[in-house]
Chains A and B, each alone.
Chain A
Amino acid sequence: DSGVTQTPKHLITATGQRVTLRCSPRSGDLSVYWYQQSLDQGLQFLIQYYNGEERAKGNILERFSAQQFPDLHSELNLSSLELGDSALYFCASSQGGNTIYFGEGSWLTVV
């Protein structure tokens, strides 16, 4: 158990809908990362927050957004969902350095 908690574990939704994925980082970790894992693209970095502020953006679509709250939990919002958005979404956290721990992921299926 990495200590990073993600909810929900599984989610099935229809195209065009919006979902929110939630992440609680390890106790004391200030940095939260979001990754998308799909069979063809592998693990792709989406976005990073550090102590409430956005620090880096990767291959995140404009339909996706994220935030980190004062209690350090983070949410990833996915809107206008398309079939191609079906993937595993991972949250990861670190104290601020290189050592990054991943949660178990949220499996999103868009039908």
Chain B
Amino acid sequence: QQQVKQSPQSLIVQKGGIPIINCAYENTAFDYFPWYQQFPGKGPALLIAIRPDVSEKKEGRFTISFNKSAKQFSLHIMDSQPGDSATYFCAASSSSGGSNYKLTFGKGTLLTVNP
């Protein structure tokens, strides 16, 4: 059972464009939703995260939009740059497991930003 569904699988945009990556979750116990950025040969790096008590969070050029009723959240990258070309993963975790905050990941989106 895939608990976090991510789309699209891949995305190509021109420099300055606004790529949008979407995720949907099933488990209503999830209460923390981070996005990770991964470059080839590197580990996933925490980019931005949101909790369900807010509908939007911005950090620099990255924005998370969150729709609790639809159980969906998305990542927007404003003024995208070729250096943003990477694989992006959405994830979710629950605080209800004591000290266990394991992340459930989406399958990832390969973003290419053309110059």
Contacts and interface: CB of A to CB of B under 8 A. Distances in A.
B37 to A, nearest CB: 11
B100 A99 contact: no
B108 A42 contact: yes
Interface size class of A (residues with CB under 8 A): 20 to 34
Nearest to B93: A98
A42 B36 CA distance: 13
Interface in B47-63: 49
Query: Interface centre among A50, A58, A92, A102, by most B CB within 10 Å?
Result: A102
Nearest to A46: B102
B36 to A, nearest CB: 7
A6 B17 CA distance: 36
- Which size bracket describes the interface of B in this complex? 20 to 34
A96 interface: yes
A2 B43 contact: yes
B42 A31 contact: no
B46 A101 contact: yes
A10 to B, nearest CB: 10
Nearest to A51: B99
Given A55-B99, A56-B102, A98 B43 contact: no
Given A55-B100, A97-B101, 6 more contacts: A43-B44, A43-B105, A45-B102, A92-B43, A99-B34, A102-B45
What are the 10 A-B residue pairs with the smallest beta carbon separation, nearest first? Answer: A102-B43, A56-B100, A43-B105, A98-B32, A50-B99, A102-B44, A42-B107, A104-B43, A55-B100, A45-B102
